Amino acid sequence: MQTVSEIDNLSPGGGSLMMAWQLKGKRVLLVGGGEVGASRIGHLLGADAHITLLCPERGLFSATKDYIAKYPQRITYFDRRFTGPAELHKMDLVLTAIDNPVASRDIADLCRQAKIPVNTADVPELCDFYFGAHIRDGPLQIMISSNGNGPRISALIKEKVQASLGGSEGLAISKIGQLRAELKQRVPEIGGPVGRKRMRWMSKICNDWPMIDFTLLDDAMIQKILDEGWEKDRVPTFEEVCEKPKPSVVETTSSGPTEGVVRKANLFGSNLLIPVANFVAGAVFMVAVMLARQR
Ligand SMILES: C[C@@]1(CC(=O)O)c2cc3[nH]c(cc4nc(cc5[nH]c(cc(n2)[C@H]1CCC(=O)O)[C@@](C)(CC(=O)O)[C@@H]5CCC(=O)O)C(CC(=O)O)=C4CCC(=O)O)c(CCC(=O)O)c3CC(=O)O
Ligand SMILES: NC(=O)C1=CN([C@@H]2O[C@H](COP(=O)(O)OP(=O)(O)OC[C@H]3O[C@@H](n4cnc5c(N)ncnc54)[C@H](O)[C@@H]3O)[C@@H](O)[C@H]2O)C=CC1
């Protein structure tokens, strides 16, 4: 957790509140189905929202057409422009992705009157919140925001962050989520001394175990961690909960409607691989220099 002085060090304001908005089952109105609209649909489907899309058919981007065809239960599409306040009925969130700042302003004004949060892709000053460059691997979500200063730079920083990931973090987080849910089922108390003990134990196992080891857990191993670990107030070793030897590489799959890439995750993660490679390269160089000198 951050201390007050750490938060003070961040900046004296001028930022925005970064959150993970829970949209499951909620209704989102999207006005405009061009390229930006298509990218909004990808994010909304990933968040399990129900989408109502308004856009003249001739303006639909190819990916938007694909989404409408593939997810008829999730996207209610109307081949027309935004008509007025009745469109906002029962909406939890509104996004405009249109090439018309006057229409965007009218829609944003109506949303403000109805107290519905709104994002207008073409007019930042009308936005209640901004989108950012996203990385998603199952439950792992990272958003890069320049807070409106340079969207393209956000996308470039996203690529750097993506390259620094090992590829197995999403799976590891899913398994940690399972372990945590099983523990909460055994010990459902909220707060109090038991709640504090549960939080301390969860933090300790996350700190002590290499992240990659969590990816190898199955249901039986999760129960064994709880029997040998939680019940005895200690953190068991991986070998205690798994009789099988660890494989040297693990296949991981990232999820989400716009993703789905299968990658090979190195067991040591990219963080360790780079220094090891540098060390080996340095050693080879030293040997070559010594041999050259001897000659
Ligand atoms: C304020 C914000 C409002 C919002 O959309 O929520 C906004 C506004 C505007 N963007 C414009 C232009 C471009 N936007 C992109 C790309 C992205 N834009 C995104 C977010 C945001 N864009 C919010 C701030 C986010 C932040 O500050 O970090 C990303 C991160 C996320 C996403 O949209 O999903 C996504 C990259 C995702 C990825 O690749 O991962 C590119 C580059 C490209 O397309 O490759 C360009 C051209 C180059 C450039 O301008 O940088 C213009 C027209 C400007 C003009 O006319 O000159 C406006 C309106 C204006 O600024 O007036
Ligand atoms: N935030 C971001 O990431 C970015 C934002 N932009 C801004 O977003 C706007 C949209 O970009 P694109 O999708 O590339 O534009 P686009 O022109 O491909 O799509 C806009 C769509 O909105 C539809 N439309 C226009 N008025 C409408 C209305 N009243 N009701 C319903 N639909 C309507 C059009 O028919 C068209 O299909 C651009 O004007 C640009 O300023 C551009 C790039 C990135």
pLDDT digits (tens, 9 = 90+) for 92-106: 999 999 999 999 999
Q: Same structural domain for residues 138 and 179?
A: no
Say which CATH number the domain at 67 has: 3.40.50.720
* Number of domains into which the chain is organized: 3
- Token pair 């909304």 is found at 44
What separation in Å is there between the alpha carbon of 149 and the centre of ligand 1? Answer: 9
Mutate to test the pocket of ligand 2, among 30, 55, 78 (most ligand atoms within 8 A of CB): 55
Candidate of 16, 130, 161 to mutate for ligand 1, largest count of ligand atoms within 8 Å of Cβ: 130
At 264, the pLDDT band (50, 70, 90 cuts) reads very low
In the listed set 121, 141, 164, which residue is the last one of a domain according to the structure?
164
ipTM of the complex: 0.97
Q: How far is CA 234 from CA 97, 227, 239, in A?
A: 52, 10, 14
Mean pLDDT within 228-241: 96
Considering the domain architecture, whether residues 182 and 229 belong to the same structural domain is answered as: yes
Which token pair is 189? Answer: 């108390």
- State whether 50 and 116 are in the same domain: yes
pLDDT in tens, 90-140: 999 999 999 999 999 999 999 999 999 999 999 999 999 999 999 999 999
**Calpha distance 239→69 (Å, rounded):** 48
Taking the C-alpha atoms of residue 108 and residue 53, their distance in angstroms, rounded to an integer, is 16
Q: What is the pLDDT of residues 188-199, one digit of tens each?
A: 999 999 999 999
Question: By alpha-carbon position, which residue is closest to atom 14 of ligand 1?
Answer: 151
Q: Residue 153: which domain range? A: 133-164
In a domain, 271, yes or no: no
Do 88 and 180 belong to one domain?
Answer: no
Cβ of residue 130 lying under 6 Å from some atom of ligand 1: yes
Q: Are residues 125 and 143 in the same domain?
A: no
- The verdict on pTM exceeding 0.90 is no
| Within a domain: 276 | no
280 within some domain: no
Task: Answer whether 127 contacts ligand 2 (Cβ < 6 A).
Answer: no
Which atom of ligand 2 sits closest to the CA of residue 61?
18
Whole-angstrom distance, CA of residue 132 vs CA of residue 154: 7
- Identify whether residues 29 and 90 lie together within a single domain: yes
Q: Active-site residue 128, yes or no?
A: no
Q: How far is the CA of 173 from the centre of ligand 1 (A)?
A: 29
**Does 208 share its domain with 180?**
yes
